Amino acid sequence: MTTIRPYTKALDGLKAAGLRPTRQRLGLGRLLFEGGDRHVTAEQLHAQAAAAGLRVSLATVYNTLNQFSTAGLLREVVVESGRSYFDTNTSDHHHFFFEGSGDLQDIPGEQVKVSDIPEAPAGTQVARVDVIVRVRSGR
Amino acid sequence: MTTIRPYTKALDGLKAAGLRPTRQRLGLGRLLFEGGDRHVTAEQLHAQAAAAGLRVSLATVYNTLNQFSTAGLLREVVVESGRSYFDTNTSDHHHFFFEGSGDLQDIPGEQVKVSDIPEAPAGTQVARVDVIVRVRSGR
DNA sequence: CTGGTAGTCTAGAACCGTTCTAGACTATTG
DNA sequence: CAATAGTCTAGAACGGTTCTAGACTACCAG
């Protein structure tokens, strides 16, 4: 069990994607990847960066999140029409969505089995299967 | 096999939801429910209404779609962050999403089995399980 | 180390789908 | 045929996201 430094993954990813390791991207990468799995919106990350003393514009937060996503470092999760979440867990898994609070929570991929999906129409291929379990406050 | 008139479902639903059967709501209901299962955006329905000679404002289309949804006549499907689809099929089923065209296609509910979902946290209950199979043009 | 250049960052404007607003209109009731 | 509660509309407002033009910076060649 080697502990991997938070920068490593982001740095490698940046390199692979041909993105320069700038102060902003490294700072955001650190915030994103040093603390386990997270689900953040652009606004949240922007606020967190400001709180951590990292000066980044909101536009750069959006750019960076999108670049990280296409580089495969993040995964975009769509659960509400007006908002995008970015998930630092890029492995195969699904989500609980708490309708009241708007929070997301991972469900490990092995724990959910989806079967008997019909074949994709000719000339197409399955890019991903998303399972969203929508949960609301009980009662 | 009794053929059910397109208005019937909408009318009953409106009544049950305490909504008056106005020209706009009946017209939109007809467009929505008389032609098998559909997935429409507000813009699309607005355009279709205009093409059919039904004068309705976009605001009313939005209001009506939302009212129909809360009345259980429609089901809102979220697959892209900036846009909402409304599905006339309210039975238990899932979706193919074609990333290129932005089209949706039903997958019958019995055809997909989702198993081993962990229990929802205490004090919460599962409202719905959405499965979205994202498909892109093959190659 | 220096200058050139391609890539990046930023503030603010623009954009786009959706919701809100105030006033005109209409279905319903008695 | 009122009275009234609900509905419709055009346009403004809103909120998240993307675009823009210009300043800045990482990188490379010399």
Contact B134 A129 (CB under 8 A): yes
- The separation between CA A52 and the C-alpha centre of its own chain, rounded to angstroms, equals 20
A67-96 pLDDT per residue, tens: 999 999 999 999 999 999 999 999 999 999
DSSP lists the bridge partners of residue B87 as B39, B75
B27 is near strand C: CB distance < 7 Å: no
pLDDT of residue A125: 92
> What confidence score (pLDDT) does residue B139 get?
62
Report the predicted TM-score, pTM, of the whole model to 2 decimal places. Answer: 0.90
Q: Which residues on chain A are in Cβ contact (under 8 Å) with B76?
A: 81
Interface residues of B toward A, Cβ cutoff 8 Å, are 76, 78-84, 96, 98-99, 107, 111-118, 120-139
Q: Which residues in B lie closer than 8 A to residue A76 (C-beta atoms)?
A: 81
**B44 vs B52: CA distance, rounded Å:** 12
pLDDT value of position B2: 45
The contacts of residue A128 (CB under 8 Å, 6+ apart) are: B133, B134
**Tokens matching residue B47:** 């355009």
pLDDT of residue A64: 98
| pLDDT band (50, 70, 90) for residue A7 | low
Per-residue model confidence (pLDDT) at position B128: 92
| A1 pLDDT higher than 50 | no
- The vertex-A127 CA angle with A123 and A130, nearest 5°, equals 135
Residues 61-80 of B with CB under 7 A from strand C: 62, 66
Chain A nearest C-alpha distance from B102 (Å): 14
Question: What pLDDT was estimated at residue B7?
Answer: 60
In chain A, residues 101 through 120 whose Cβ sits under 7 angstroms from any atom of nucleic acid strand C: none
Q: Output the tens digit of pLDDT for each of chain B's 139 residues.
A: 444 455 666 777 788 888 999 999 999 999 999 888 999 999 999 999 999 999 999 999 999 999 999 999 999 999 999 999 999 999 999 999 999 899 999 998 788 888 888 888 888 999 999 999 999 987 6
Which of B85 and A1 is assigned the larger pLDDT?
A: B85
Could you give the 3-state DSSP secondary structure of residue B83? Answer: strand
Cα B35 to Cα A131: distance, rounded to the nearest angstrom: 29
d(CA B21, CA B28): 11
For residues A5-17, average pLDDT:
72
What does chain A look like in DSSP terms, one character per residue?
Answer: -PPPPHHHHHHHHHHHHT----HHHHHHHHHHHSSS--EE-HHHHHHHHHHTT----HHHHHHHHHHHHHTTSSEEEEEETTEEEEES--SSEEEEEETTTTEEEEEEGGG-EEE-PPPPPTTEEEEEEEEEEEEEE--
Q: Given this model, what pLDDT does residue A133 score? A: 95
